Structure 1
């Protein structure tokens, strides 16, 4: 007998999925997170799994994902940092790309950098674009900058110099000086985190890495201690932003590699469900306690990319293409200075949590609003971890209701609508970039609050089909079990795609593939490794490039094969191409992976029938109280059909089926909703 355990730590709940590989039985669980004592939630969940039959000594795979990184950035609760830059380039974070987040808004402002301008210090050094030293780093300027960082109370330093992607020597020399002058400060180099061209993206990625490093490092230390206390000997694996896994040892330094850790594993889990259900185009919606995260799945596979936003900042490393917004179940509602109702990004988390949790929270949240609208409170909340108190929600939302001149229920419905509007902004952007219409998609909501708001969001977005997995509240933990061991490498080359450069390009491809495979084997031992290649290409003179997958067959065709792939990709993305124009290779990439063991997806026989509600309840929908049916998910059999408005309760979440929608349970246990 052997067990595989997946864990996802969110802003409010820690989710667990434990698979008995001998019987195929999956045990799922939610416990409240413990922000004041990180890691204890893992120990608490494992103790309950042991009570349910888990044998710690038989755990052969333990995979851990967390949103602590992205939540730290969204809530701006990371480490105080200093940034050392090339003298004359200290405004790199302030200038960014000189773009406004919303160019059509007269009130739009660029986000404040995570490193304030007064904590950015110049270093007297310079390297030319070819990587040759012009001015070596001056020790006096480094010492002055270190002293200023210490005086400012900074906990760590990011060193990011011009052209360090070409030659990291100056960054390495300065990092060594810092270690000598101030060993108490942690240091990250831009060329170490991600050696890509473009100083703003490279610097921002390094800053993100350093900003979350202390919290992630502390989390991993405590989680490993909890595993040891629980007698689990399996090595701790972490889910990564690219939808794979890596070892905890590597994760302590590669913090940006797990910024979208829990989020990406949810997308991986959604892909498992989508492939089994045969759904070709899916928009995932993962709503936890702090954020709402959306991604596209085509034939069960997510899109990958670089430069995707983490909060308000671009991330240069390859990630599952997930977009986050600050509207989660614990997001706080408020009236702003202009008298406008706002929701998020500040979250109550699990401590003190939403007001209805009775844990000291005083601010109204999305969860409180759902309780006041009758959506929650009809069954268990978080596997019985919480017994929500409606009176506390009413007291918390009273100031908002007074400001709006409404009753508590009307104000609560307004909170839900504002939260949905915030999510819709990001969804519209995502679909526009992908060139996909909402009507082509099936929405798959999961997370503790996803199924609660999924159909309302789908209706607003123009999506007419919603698929809710059997255990949506713990799908991220399930996805952790399905995540492959993975390692990504890249190198910026800036070479023309010409025959004269092909030998060098081919050699770098092989070096990157060998490096990725070597690191993968260091993490996971000997065994089979699948390696994929990609190239960042552009027409000469273009400012930005396309990442093009490079199959082995095309690699064997040399320049002609790579050029043909780029022209086809450009045509697909932009509607035109120029086969006669010269092409430039910006960067080369390799990814090595070892597939995770498959997950069982049992099917049952469909028996079409009308599923009758067990009780009648009242819901606040569309500005009025309406009668609705109450169903228990465990009582719904494959083929069962019912119409909304209705609520479906289950241990890990609550599903809302609005009026005008019908719901049917399929042979996999998914609840499929369709708009009339």
Structure 2
């Protein structure tokens, strides 16, 4: 027998999925996170799994996603850094893209950079746009900058020079000088982290990488220690922002690669469920303790993009395309200065948590509102980790009720409606960009709070079909198990797309593929892998490019005209028009090496059509009134079981709300398929 374990550390709960490969047995678990002791939640979960029959020595695969990096950025608790730029470009972080976060507010302010202006130092060096040296790096200016950085207490240095994407020689030389003069400092180069065109995005991505490096490295060391203490010899793998995995050794340097790991693995897990269920176009909805994350799946595959924001800062690396809003189970409700009810983005997290958790929190949250509406409180919460207290939730709601002149149940339902409206704004944006209509979609809610609000959000969005996975509360951890070992590489080129450029394109693709495959073998040893290619293209004169995936046959027999045709089609698909006569420009090339994860077993239960019988009738607040609703246990709903709303279905990892006007059927994979009547 062998075990595979997936772990996802969120803002409130740490989720575990343990698969016994010989029998297909799946154990799921949630434990409260321990922000004050990162890694301790992993140890707690492993002890709990051991009581359910897990044999640590038999664990062959351990995959872990975490929010340590992104929380470090949001909370601004990262390393004190110095930034070395080309002389004359020290205001790069302040200038950014000259865009305000809210163009409609006269009082809007841009966030302060992660590296303050006094810690940015101009180095005497200059390279032209073609990568030729104009002024070699000056050692004296490097030494002077290091003296000032050390006097400020800086722990590390980011080196990001003009045009280093074209030629990294100056960054390499300065990094060597720093190592010689101040070996106690850690160093990251922009050309090392992500060698892409555009100085600001490359520099910001490098700064993000360095900013979280000490905390991530320390965290991974603690988790590795927990695994060793538990007797688990399997290598520690980390889920990545691109929906794959990498080794912990790689993650200590490639920190930005795991900033969105939990979010991406949730989408990967949703893709596994969607393919097994035969769903073609799915909108995923992952609601955790602090946010609601949405993404589109087509035939189980997510879309990818770059420029995802981490806090207030752009991330240039490719990531699973996910949009987030600040409405989660722990999001705090408040009345603003104008007397308007607001929800989020501030969150109570796991400590102290929502008021009903009884852990010292006194703010009224979405979770408290769901409890007062009768949705929660009918079964276990987080595998019994929390016994919600209704009286504490009512006490937290009372000040808001008095301020608005409403009773507590009306305030509770209002909080849920406001939270859903905040999510709906981001969904409308996503669907508009994708050219998709709500009526075409199946909504797949997961996360601890996703199934609780999924049907209500579907109603608001005009979606008529909802699919709740068998283990929605731990789907991100399941996705970690399904994630492939992956390494992405890229090069910026900036040249016209024409037949004379083909030799350089093929040469660059070959180099990128070799680099990606070599790194993959360094991480995971010998084994089969596949290479996928892509190109970032634009019409000459455009400011931004369109990512274009390439078919596997292009490297052997593709021409520049074939590549241009792929771009025209992608441009028309994205924007509704194209210009086949316009000249096309190659901005960059990409390659990804993939090694498939072991497949997950898929349930195929015998279907027996039957009307489910509720075990009790409970009061449920919906649409401004109280209703008698059926209460069901998820484990009692066999394949083919049917029920109608209003109803609440409880299970150990989440609660599923079925509003009035919806019907539910359990399918052969253990999913609950909800449709409007």
Alpha-carbon distance in structure 1 between the residues aligned to 2:399 and 2:143: 53
Which residue of 2 is the match for residue 263 of structure 1?
Answer: 263
Q: Which residue of 2 aligns with 1:665?
A: 666
- Whole-Å separation in 2 of the counterparts to 1:275 and 1:43: 33
What displacement does 1:80 show?
3.8
Q: Which residue matches 2:463?
A: 463
Distance 1:379 1:124, change over 3 A: same
| Cα gap change, 1:293 to 1:402, in 2 (>3 Å) | same
Contact 1:492 1:586 in 2 (8 A): yes
Contact (CA 8 Å) 1:488, 1:590: kept in 2 or not? yes
Q: 1-side partners of 2:405 and 2:156: how far apart?
A: 48
- Pair 1:96-2:96 in alignment: yes
DSSP 3-state at the match of 2:134:
strand
Call closer, same or farther: CA 1:192–1:102 in 2, change over 3 Å. same
Q: Evaluate the alpha carbon distance shift between residue 107 and residue 646 of structure 1 in structure 2; reply closer, same or farther with a 3 A threshold.
A: farther
**Range with bigger deviation, 270-279 or 394-403:** 394-403
User: How big is each residue's C-alpha offset from its partner over 1:423-453, in whole Å with a ceiling of 9 and x where there is no partner?
Assistant: 2222222111111112211110111111111
Q: Do structure 1's residue 69 and structure 2's residue 81 form an aligned pair?
A: no
Mean Cα deviation higher: 580-589 or 519-528:
580-589
Contact 2:9 2:65 in 1 (8 A): yes
Change in 2 beyond 3 A, CA 1:429/1:602: same
Matching residue of 2:646: 645
SS in 1 for 2:246: strand
Name the residue aligned to 1:633: 634
Partner deviation per Cα, 1:604-642 (whole Å, 9 max, x = no partner): 222222212111111222223222211111111222222
Gap change, CA 1:525 and 1:505, over 3 Å in 2? same
Q: Distance in 1 between matches of 2:97 and 2:265?
A: 31
Cα separation, 2, equivalents of 1:348 and 1:183: 41
Alignment partner, residue 214 of structure 1: 214
CA distance in 1, matches of 2:620, 2:673: 21
Per-residue deviation at 1:120?
Answer: 3.2
For structure 2, which runs of at least 5 residues remain unmatched after alignment? none
2:605 match = 604
Residues 1:172 and 1:666: Cα distance change in structure 2 (over 3 Å): same
Partner of 2:378, secondary structure, is coil
Aligned to 1:344: 344
| Deviation of the 1:179 alpha carbon | 3.6
C-alpha distance in 1 between matches for 2:495 and 2:476? 40
Following TM superposition, by how much is the alpha carbon of 1:73 offset from its aligned partner in structure 2, in angstroms?
3.2
Higher mean displacement: 510-519 or 126-135: 126-135
1:545 aligns with 2:551: no
Tell me what 1:656 maps to: 657
TM-score normalized with structure 1 length: 0.96
Structure 1 position 110, deviation (Å)? 4.0
Per the alignment, residue 21 of structure 1 pairs with 21
- Local SS of the residue matching 1:222: helix
- Pair 311,465 (structure 1): closer, same or farther in 2 beyond 3 Å: farther
Contact 2:603 2:670 in 1 (8 A): no
Alpha-carbon distance, 1:535 to partner: 0.8
Q: In the TM superposition, what whole-angstrom CA distance separates every residue of 1:460-507 from its partner, at most 9, and x where no partner exists? A: 122111110011001111111111111110001112222222111111
In 2, the alpha carbon distance for the partners of 1:540 and 1:466 equals 43
Partners of 1:190 and 1:614 lie apart in 2 by 60
Please report how far the alpha carbon of residue 267 of structure 1 lies from its aligned counterpart in structure 2 after TM superposition. 0.6
Corresponding residue of 1:520: 520
User: For structure 1, which segment, 195-204 or 364-373, has the greater mean C-alpha deviation from structure 2 after superposition?
Assistant: 364-373
Shift of 1:407: 2.7
SS of the aligned residue for 1:552 comes to coil
Superposed, 1:126-525 pairs within 5 Å as 126-525=126-525
CA contact (8 A) 1:287 1:293 kept: yes
- Say if 1:524 and 1:357 are closer, same or farther in 2 by CA, change over 3 A: same
Q: After the TM superposition, which of the residue ranges 324-333 and 377-386 deviates more from structure 2?
A: 324-333
Q: CA deviation at 1:335?
A: 3.1
Aligned to 2:581: 580
Are 1:9 and 2:24 matched, yes or no?
A: no
Using the alignment, how far apart are the partners of 2:80 and 2:625 within structure 1?
A: 48
Alpha-carbon distance in structure 2 between the residues aligned to 1:121 and 1:374 = 58
Moved more, 235-244 or 451-460: 451-460
Change (3 A) 1:508 1:415: same
Distance 1:428-1:151 versus aligned 2 partners, 3 A rule? farther
Q: Determine the C-alpha separation between the residues in 2 that align with 1:426 and 1:227.
A: 39
Q: Distance between the aligned counterparts of 2:437 and 2:78, measured in 1?
A: 37
Correspondence for 1:622: 623
Question: What's the offset of the Cα at 1:561?
Answer: 2.1
How far the C-alpha of 1:83 sits from its partner, in A, is 2.8
TM-score, normalisation: structure 2: 0.96
Are the aligned partners of 1:310 and 1:323 in contact in 2 as well (CA < 8 Å)?
no
Aligned-partner SS, 1:647: strand
Distance 1:220 1:78 in 2: 15
Q: Which residue of 1 aligns with 2:590?
A: 589
State the distance in 1 between where 2:256 and 2:494 align.
25
Structure 1 position 549, deviation (Å): 1.1
Using the TM superposition, name which of 154-163 and 465-474 deviates more.
154-163
Provide the alpha-carbon RMSD of the alignment. 1.9
**In 1, Cα distance between equivalents of 2:328 and 2:211:** 22
Distance 1:336 1:212, change over 3 A: farther
Is the CA contact (8 Å cut-off) linking 1:11 and 1:68 kept in structure 2? no
Report SS of the residue matched to 2:553.
helix
How far is the alpha carbon of 1:653 from its aligned partner?
0.5
Kindly state the Cα deviation for residue 106 of structure 1 after the two structures are TM-superposed. 5.6
For the 8 Å contact 2:632–2:648, the answer to whether it is kept is yes
What SS does structure 2 have at the residue aligned with 1:418?
helix
Q: What is the Cα deviation at residue 140 of structure 1?
A: 4.1
2:427 and 2:95 map into 1 onto residues whose CA distance is: 27
Worse-superposed segment, 102-111 or 576-585: 102-111
C-alpha distance in 2 between matches for 1:206 and 1:287? 29
Paired residue total: 676
- C-alpha separation in 2, matches of 1:44 and 1:386: 15
Structure 2 CA distance for partners of 1:271 and 1:509, relative to 1, 3 Å: same
1:105 shift after superposition? 5.5
Q: Is the 8 A contact 2:465 2:673 kept in 1?
A: yes
Q: Is the 8 A contact 2:67 2:260 kept in 1?
A: yes
Distance in 2 between the 1:634 and 1:70 partners? 35
Q: Secondary structure at the match of 1:290?
A: coil
